[in-house]
Amino acid sequence: MIFAAGLGTRLRPLTERCPKALVPVAGRPMLERVIRRLIQAGFDELVVNIHHRGEQIVEYLESHPFPGTTLHISDERDMLLDTGGGIRKARRWLEGDEPFLIHNVDILCDIDLRDFYRRHLNSGAEASLLVGQRATSRYLLFDQGNRLCGWTNTATGETLPPGTDPAAFRPMAFGGIHVFSPSLFRRMEAGGWQGRFSIIPFYLSVCGEACIRGEEARGTYWFDIGKIDTLHQAEAHLARKGGAGAP
């Protein structure tokens, strides 16, 4: 599943008339780059959620076919459901015998997605989250076995669950890519998770019972291209590598 429904507020004015997913990165829309990366990794059925300027994404996908790939549109134009709510709305396409990979449209990186998915299958976890040691104010907290145990905001001192001691855990930043096992849908139902909600609070609510693990990024670069400055940094990086035309 590709999260492409965001408002793109950090990319204004580029997103005033264009959805974030179609903002070009070195000449190619973010969405195209993610789709091609997923296809290269062996994924052949994709769900794309839409909200802001969603009709433009529909038109783009209709006019730019990806042979051999089945694409579904999860339409959130009536209500933006955030990451957790977006997954639940798309359940009819995602639920089955296999876990599915989720990729934010504004993440540009070169991690091996096939290997990341395979590691999840071999881990026995119900979800695997791409994480890294980059600087941020919000960290996921993992034990020595890379199992999710909590969250902290270093700017405010807030922790989840309340009372968690961040010093007892490894702080890691979430990288916007994760693998989700369909068994977690039953936990969503049991916990009453409906409507609009973020996936991270959901993961934190179940990590005491379900194994939610962190997988440290193994690539050579990772960019959050949902911001103007990092978008420009990513384009400069691609130009240096001579890979502007690569996924």
H/E stretch holding 47 reads strand 45-50
Q: Give CA–CA dist 211/144, Å, rounded.
A: 13
Percent of the chain with pLDDT over 70: 98
pLDDT in tens, 177-211: 999 999 999 999 999 999 999 999 999 999 999 99
pLDDT in tens, 129-152: 999 998 899 999 999 999 999 999
Q: Which pLDDT value is given to residue 241?
A: 72
Residue entry with tokens 């990186």: 109
The CATH code of domain 2-241 reads 3.90.550.10
In this predicted structure, the answer to whether residue 217 has a pLDDT above a threshold of 90 is no
Structure tokens at 169: 């855990």
Give 222's pLDDT tier (boundaries 50, 70, 90): very high
Q: Give CA–CA dist 95/44, Å, rounded.
A: 15
Q: Give CA–CA dist 212/141, Å, rounded.
A: 11
pLDDT in tens, 35-72: 999 999 999 999 999 999 999 999 999 999 899 999 99
Q: Which pLDDT value is given to residue 247?
A: 61
pLDDT in tens, 66-113: 999 999 999 999 999 999 999 999 999 999 889 999 999 999 999 999
Q: Which pLDDT value is given to residue 243?
A: 54
User: Is the model more confident about 112 or about 246?
Assistant: 112
